[in-house]
Amino acid sequence: MKAFFSPALRVASHSLRLHLRDRFFGLFLLFALLLIYSSLLVGVMAVYQERRALMDFGLALMELMGLAFCVYASATAVSSEVETKTIYLVFSRPVPRHSYLLGKMLAVFGAAAVLLAATAVMHSSLLLLRGHAPDGLYFAALGYSWLKLTLISSLVFAVSMFSTSALSSMVIGFILWMLGHFAPETVFMAAQAGGEGSPLEFLARLIPNFQLFNFKDALDVPGAAAPPALALAYAAAWWAGSYGFAWALLRRKEF
């Protein structure tokens, strides 16, 4: 176990530092700050619903910023090391490929947490400025957003192992993100079009259901998001599946 986790943690801590030092990370934060504070205008327009407008707009922006960063970071995590040949310096050492992959994924998960935390500080400061203190539900919504971001990150990792470029991995990632927000509807339409139990329906069921993580909807519609244990288990199943798929491809690659 030590031979598996020790190199993974070393790769993870190194890669996390690289993500946090990346100029794109700083740009995402700056952009998030501008957008979050511009939501003041939305709050003003909402008049009596200012708290709700600021909350919804801010949480959505934070998630979108996180999505952009996670898709970019996951799509380039391995491919950039292959292009620059730094992967030779890693794989010529006693670092198993499964540990390397795990370390890279954990680093993106960690960077997503840091990004969400930093944008949450910005957003909370705006809420406090307007006299709306964030409550426990707000932080629960952040937790669900993080799960969602880690899920899409692990999927993009898997896609990046077979796609021809980082750009195509990113495009597929964004498509999966959009489809995932309409997963039940897609399954329904696939069943209608191809019949129940058809290959089309089976394919539609392979799309992750991001609606389970829409906790900010649950603030208005109780039961809209999955309970925490189910959401965590669902995300963990996708992490494991994506990791296994990505590893199966990475172990066969020659550099």
Residues that bind other proteins (CB under 8 A): 3, 7, 10-11, 14, 18, 21, 84-86, 88-96, 254-255
| Pick 7 or 66: Cβ nearer other proteins | 7
| Pick 7 or 110: Cβ nearer other proteins | 7
For the chain, report the end-to-end CA distance as a whole number of angstroms.
Answer: 26
Question: Look-up: residue for tokens 């993080």?
Answer: 146
The count of other CB atoms within 10 Å of the CB of residue 252 is 9
Question: Look-up: residue for tokens 């934060």?
Answer: 29
Least distance between other proteins and beta carbon 87 (Å): 9
| Pick 165 or 192: Cβ nearer other proteins | 165
Least distance between other proteins and beta carbon 173 (Å): 23
Least distance between other proteins and beta carbon 19 (Å): 11
Least distance between other proteins and beta carbon 3 (Å): 7
Least distance between other proteins and beta carbon 17 (Å): 9
| Pick 38 or 84: Cβ nearer other proteins | 84
| Pick 85 or 136: Cβ nearer other proteins | 85
- Kindly give, in sequence order, each residue whose CB lies less than 8 Å from that of residue 132, ignoring residues fewer than 6 positions away: 50, 51, 54, 55
The CA distance from 95 to 10, in Å, is 10
What is the chain's length? 255
∠ CA 11-17-21, rounded to 5°: 145
The CA distance from 215 to 56, in Å, is 11
Question: Look-up: residue for tokens 């990505």?
Answer: 246
